[in-house]
Chains A and B, each alone.
Chain A
Amino acid sequence: MPHATFRQVDLEALCGESDLSLDRIEELCLLVKGELKRKGCVDGDVKVELQDTNRPDTWCVEGIARQIRQHKTGVPGDYACFEPPAVGQAPSARIQVAASVKSVRPYVAGFLARGYTVDEDGLQAFIAAQEVLCHNFGRQRKSVAIGIYDASQMTFPIHYEAVDAASEERAFVPLQPNEDDPCDGSGTPIPAERWAQPWTPAEILRDHPTGRKYADAIPDPSRATILVDDAGQVLSFPPVINSATLGRVQPGMSELFVEVTGTVLDQVLLAANILAANLADRGAQIEACETHYPWETERGAVLPCPHLLEDRTTVTVTPDRFGALLGEPELGSAEICDRLRHYGVKVASEANALRVTTLPYRADYLHQVDAIEDFAISRGYDTFAPLLPEEFTVGSQSIGSQFEDLIRDRMIGVGFEEAIGNILTSAVEVRERMLLPAEGPVPEFRPVHGANSVRIQNVMSVNYSLLRDWLLPTLLEIEGHSSGARNPHRVFEVGEVCSWDETQVLASQTRQHLGALLADDKQAGFSECQAYLHALLHTLGLSFGEGEGTYGLDLVEHPSFLPSRAAWVVIGAARTRIGLIGEVHPGVLEAWRIYSPVSAFEICLDTLRALLD
C-alpha cells in the first residue's frame, strides 16, 4: 500500500492548522482512509499509509491536507486550473507528439507552474508524490512516469518523439544517480568525467544505475522516447531519467514545467491533474499546456492539461438512495449536500436528483455508491447507529466439514494427535523424499496422488513451489522434527490436498484427505497401523471382508512403502480404492531423518464419503 511521509509543519501549513497532536492527525487521516504509522518516524515527520488505491490524489501531503482543509471549511476548493477555459482562449504552451511514440509510450501531458518559489519542503513533497504515483499508480513507471523541469530555460513547443536508442542524435547528459561510486552494467565504477558527457539512451539503459533500474519499464529497449524542446535541448528520456541541465530542479526556482508520460491516457491525465492541484495548493499559478497528437486518441487529437475529465467526475443520485443504502430513510438533501461539500465535492440539485461532481484530481466516481460513501465518510462513520440484522436465517456446517469433524473425532478417539500442515510445499517434499519421480504424473496411485502436481509458475522460493497432493509428507516432516518426543508417536491431519487434472474445469482437484502416521521403536508395523484404520472404518459401518458394505486391502507396490508391506484400502464389491496403508520405506525415513519405524495410512475422504452415501 502507498505511504506518504512528510514534515508535520508542512501539513499544518497546507491545511491552515497549527500544533496538531498526533492523535488529531490520526483522526483526520480517516478522511483519506489513511492510517498514521507512529513507528520509525524521525521527529517532526509524519508517516501515513493510504488504503484507497483508487484515490492517488490522497497519497501525498498536499492531498491529505486538502481533504482536511475541505472538511474544515466546507468549500470544495477554488482551482482556476480546473475551470473550463474561456471560449477561444487556447493554452500558450504546446507539446507536439510524433507518430513514432504511438507503439512505444503513446501519451504525454504537461503544464507550467509559475509564481511559486520552490522551497525544500515543497520540493521534497513533489518528489515524494512523483515517486508514489510512478511506483504504485504507474506500476514502477510502466504506465505512468513524471518529470519536472526548469521552465525558464526551455523553448516551447516541446516535442515528444521516439528514436533509435543507440543513435547519437538525442544523446544527452543525464542526472547523476543519487548514490556513492556508481558502477556501470559490468560493475566498473563510472569515472567522474563521464557525467559531463552525453549518453545515448542505449548507454543509459546499459550503464546508468537508474537506467538499469527502470529498463523493465520500457517495452522495447531499442526504441527510446525523448522529450526535447524546440531548441533541441533534451528534457528527458521518459520513463527512465531527466537531463542534468533542464531536469535538475532546485529550491529557489519559480518557473516549472511538469510532464507525465505513459501508456494509459486517463492515468496520464489524472496524474498531471493531481500534480497541478498540489502545486496550486502551494501557491503556483497553473498554466495549461496542450498536447497535439498526430492521431485521434480516445479523447481527441488535441488535449489540454490540466484536463477536466468531465465524463469521469460526475454521478447523479437521488437523495433516497443515500438513505436506503446507509439505513437512514429520513436523510434529507440539505444534509447530503452540506456534508458532500465538506468532502470537497461539488453538488448541484437537478430535478429530484443531486448532481455530485469531484474535482478532476479525482476520477474514482464509477457508480452512485461512490458518492454515497463520500457522504458517509464526511459525516463520520461514528454518526451511524449500528442496527442488528433482523431477518432469521438458519446456520449450518457444510456436509464436507461435518464429515471431516466426524473423522477427526474418531482419530482423536483412538489416540492420535491432530496436526495442520501447510499446503504450499515443494517437489522435494512430496515427491523426491517419498522416492516418487520428481517430475511427471503418477496416475497409477490415484486417488492418493493425481496425475501431476499443481505447480507454481512464478515461484518465489523453491520451498513453496507446488501444492501437496498427499498428506504423508506433512506428517513425516513433523515426525522428522519430533525425535525428542516420547514414543509412541501417533499423529494425523485432515486437510486439503490438490492435484493437477486436465479433465477438470479448473485443471485441478481439491480434495480432503486423512493422513495418519504411527512411529515407535516397537509396534509401529503394518498390523498395528491397520488396527487403527480398522477402528476408524469399522465405526463408519464397514466391516473387513469382501462385497458390499465392506472394506478390504489389496497389496500394492508403492515406492514410498516397503515392498510387500503396502496395500490399497478398497471399498465394496467393486473394490474401489480410497487410500493406501503401509510401512514407510526406510529410504523415505532416511530422507526425512527419521530413525524409528513408521507406518501410515492415507485415505481420500471425498471418495470415502461418496461411497458411504
Chain B
Amino acid sequence: MSDNPLSPNEAALLRAAPASPGFDFLALLDASGLSRGQAQSAAESLTAREFLARDETLAASLAITDTGRSQIEAGIPELRIRAKLVEGPIAIQAAQDLPGLGRAVVGSAFGGLKKGKLIAVDKGQVSLCEHAAWAVHEGRLALLQQLAAVGGSVAWDEIPPDALSDVEARLPGKRKKDDSVFERVEVRTRRYTLTDPGRERQSTLAEARPQVAELTKEMLKEGTWRDVEFRRFNLAEPPWRPIGRRNPYRQYLDLVRRRLIGLGFEEMSGSLVEPEFWNMDALFLPQFHPAREIHDVYYVEHGSKGGPCYAREIDGGALEPVALEHEGRGVTGSRGWNYEFDRERSKRLVLRSQGTVLSARWLQKATTPGKYFGMARCFRYDEVDATHAPDFFQVEGIVSSEQTSFRHLLGLLKVFAQEMARSSEVKFVPAYFPFTEPSVEVHMKHPDLGWMELGGAGIFRPEVTKPHGVDCPVIAWGLGLDRMAMVALGIKDIRHLFTNNLPGGLGTLRDLVAR
C-alpha cells in the first residue's frame, strides 16, 4: 500500500511535515500550499497509510460567557451592591435595585454576600462589612477582563489558583445559566508524528515539489515556479495544429520567378481572354493554320447573345501592320502566307493558349536592351488526363537587344539549363515555331531525369517584330517546367500540381536550391 504513488496533496503535506513529534496539520497550510480541508484529508490518508501516527488529545479551557462580557462593562453584581453601601447603610430594596439584572441574579448575589458576612442586614437596613472575601469578587472581575482581552478563553491550567474555586463554583450546572460568567470548553486536538516509513517516504520526496499542469503568469510574478514541478507531457499522441504554408507548386514557380528576376528579367502579366490577334496573328500563325482549328483553342461565347465574341478593337494600332505581313504586303518584304487576312476574325476572343501572347503584347512596350518574362496560365483544347491539366502555367519571355544573335540565344538557353536544373550539359536541336526563325529546342541532362527537353526558343521572325516598330532581333523563349516540377515534387499526375485536398496534396517539396 505504501508503495502506491502519493496523490499530489499527500505529497505536499508529507513534504511539509516537521521531524518533531506531535505537530498540528493546521500549522502546515502555508508550507504545503493546501487548504484546510485538503490538508486534513491528506493527513488522514497518510495516517491510514501509516506514514503518520495520530495522537488525539482533549484540552480544556476557560471561556467567558456573554453574561460575563456584559458584567465587564456594568460591573459584577456583588461589587455594584458594595458601591451602594459605601456611604452608609441603606434599605434592602434600595440595595437590591440594580438595573439591567434579573431579580434572581441580584437575589443570588445578595444572598451570597449576606451568607459570607460581607454585608449585614439589620431592621431592613443593609450595611457594608470589612471582609477579605471582597478580593475574590475583585479577582473575578480582573479574570473576566483578562479573558476578554486575550480573545475570550485561556487554557484551564492557566487560571490563577486563588480564583479557581470561585470559577468552578460559577460554571454552568452549578449556577443558573444566565448567571454564569464562565464556561469550561473542551477541545479534541489531533497531533501527528512522522512514522519511520513516513520519514523514509519523506526523504524520497525531498527533491520533488508540487506538480502543476502549466506555468502561469502568477507563478512568474511571485516566483513560485521555483517551488513547483510541471506535470509530464503526454507523449503518446502529438497534439494537432494545422500549419500555414505555401503550395508546393506555387513555391516551385516562385523559385523560377526569383531565378529569372535574378537573371535580369522583368515580369509581364496579362489577360486570360485574348483576341486571336494577340494569341495567334501577331505571332505570324496564319489564320488557316491547322493549329487554329476549332479543336485546338477555346473560343469565348458572347455573354448575352451567345455565339462568337469579339474584342472591341485591337489596341496599339497593330492590326493593320500585322495583317499586311500575313498578306505579304508588309514592311519586312516577307512573302506572307498568301491569303486574304480576315481582320474581323482577328478580334475573336479565345482563352489564352500560349504564354507567348504576353511577349507579343510586350513588343510594343519593350525597351532595348530589355529582358522580360511571364508566368502565364494557359488553356489548350485537350482531354484532361494525367498529362493534361485543364489549365497550366507557361513560363515564357523575350530578350531584346541590338547584339542579339543565334549564338546569344544558345548562350541564354545554357544559362537557363544551369539555373533551372543545375545542368551544364545541353544539346540544341532544330525546331519549328511559326513565329521564330531560326528556332531551337534545348535538351539538357537533368541530374535525375537524364536527357530531357527544357524548352523551345528562337529569334522572332521580322514579321512578328517589325509591325511593332522593333527593328533589332528579339529572342523568344519558353520553358517546359511542369515535368521538372513533377519530379521535384515527387508526383506522377499533372493534375496533382493543383490542390485537390488537404493537407497540401503534395509531399514535401524537395529543395531545388540544394541541387
Contact = CB atoms under 8 A, between A and B. Distances in A.
Interface in A277-309: none
A366 B337 CA distance: 8
Contact of B303 (A325, A421, A452): A452
A389 B408 contact: yes
B245 A417 contact: yes
Contacts of B308: 457
A457 B463 contact: no
B408 A30 contact: no
B338 A381 contact: no
A422 interface: yes
B405 A324 contact: yes
A387 B408 contact: yes
Interface in A22-60: 30-31, 33, 51-55
Interface in B329-381: 332-339, 349, 351, 369-371, 377, 379, 381
Contact of A395 (B260, B269, B298): B260
A457 B241 CA distance: 45
A393 B369 contact: yes
Contacts of A418: 245-247, 250, 499
B454 to A, nearest CB: 14
A369 interface: yes
B384 A461 contact: yes
B273 A507 contact: yes
A193 interface: no
A496 B303 contact: no
B392 to A, nearest CB: 9
Interface in A94-131: none
Given A327-B407, A393-B264, A422 B498 contact: yes
Contacts of B411: 386-389
Contacts of B275: 506
Interface string B394-431: 00000101011111101111110000000000011111
Contact of B244 (A423, A490, A510): A490
A415 B300 contact: no
Given A396-B266, A420-B499, A482-B501, A386 B414 contact: yes
B446 interface: no
A381 B242 contact: no
A263 B389 CA distance: 36
A5 B410 CA distance: 32
A399 B229 CA distance: 54
A205 interface: no
B437 interface: yes
A398 B272 contact: no
B269 A393 contact: no
B181 interface: no
A502 B302 CA distance: 9
A183 interface: no
Given A136-B290, A395-B266, A423 B249 contact: no
A423 B391 contact: yes
Interface string B259-297: 011111111111111110000000000001111011100
A51 B431 contact: yes
B240 to A, nearest CB: 5
Contact of A389 (B307, B339, B401): B401
A489 interface: yes
Interface residues on B, range: 35 or more
Contacts of A31: 430
B501 A478 contact: yes
B265 A312 contact: no
Interface string A367-385: 1011011001100011011
Contacts of B265: 393, 395
Nearest to A384: B407
Looking at B310, B411, B462, the one whose CB has the most chain A CB atoms below 10 A away is B411
B303 A507 contact: yes
A485 interface: yes
Interface stretch (B15-23, B32-40, B67-75, B311-319): B311-319
A488 interface: yes
A412 B244 contact: yes
Centre residue among A369, A421, A502 by max chain B CB count within 10 A: A369
A481 B244 CA distance: 19
Given A325-B405, A489-B242, A478 B499 contact: yes
B183 to A, nearest CB: 62
B438 A373 contact: yes
B502 interface: yes
Nearest to A382: B428
Contacts of A385: 407, 410
B429 A30 contact: yes
A171 B92 CA distance: 167
A496 B377 CA distance: 9
A605 interface: no
B459 interface: yes
A610 interface: no
Contacts of A377: 430, 438
B243 interface: yes
A415 B243 contact: yes
B414 to A, nearest CB: 5
A424 interface: yes
Contacts of A386: 407-408, 410-411, 413-414
In the complex, which of the residues A393, A394, A486 has the most CB atoms of chain B within 10 Å of its own CB atom?
A393
B414 A455 contact: no
B461 interface: yes
Contacts of B403: 389-391
B399 A389 contact: yes
Interface in A210-246: none
Given A387-B411, A401-B269, A455-B300, A327 B371 contact: no
Contacts of B288: 139, 143, 264
A282 B382 CA distance: 39
A454 interface: yes
Return the 9 tightest CB-CB contacts between A and B, nearest first.
A327-B405, A327-B407, A500-B303, A419-B499, A395-B261, A481-B501, A386-B410, A373-B438, A386-B411
16 contacts: A326-B438, A365-B335, A367-B461, A373-B430, A373-B438, A381-B429, A388-B415, A389-B411, A391-B401, A401-B269, A418-B246, A419-B247, A422-B498, A453-B303, A506-B311, A510-B272
Given A326-B405, A392-B369, 20 more contacts: A327-B408, A372-B438, A373-B437, A376-B438, A386-B414, A393-B369, A398-B267, A420-B499, A421-B498, A454-B273, A458-B381, A460-B383, A461-B384, A478-B500, A502-B304, A505-B311, A505-B312, A506-B349, A507-B309, A510-B270
Interface of B: 240-247, 249-250, 254, 257, 260-275, 288-291, 293-295, 298-304, 307-313, 315, 332-339, 349, 351, 369-371, 377, 379, 381-384, 389-391, 399, 401, 403-408, 410-415, 427-432, 434, 437-440, 459, 461-463, 473, 497-504
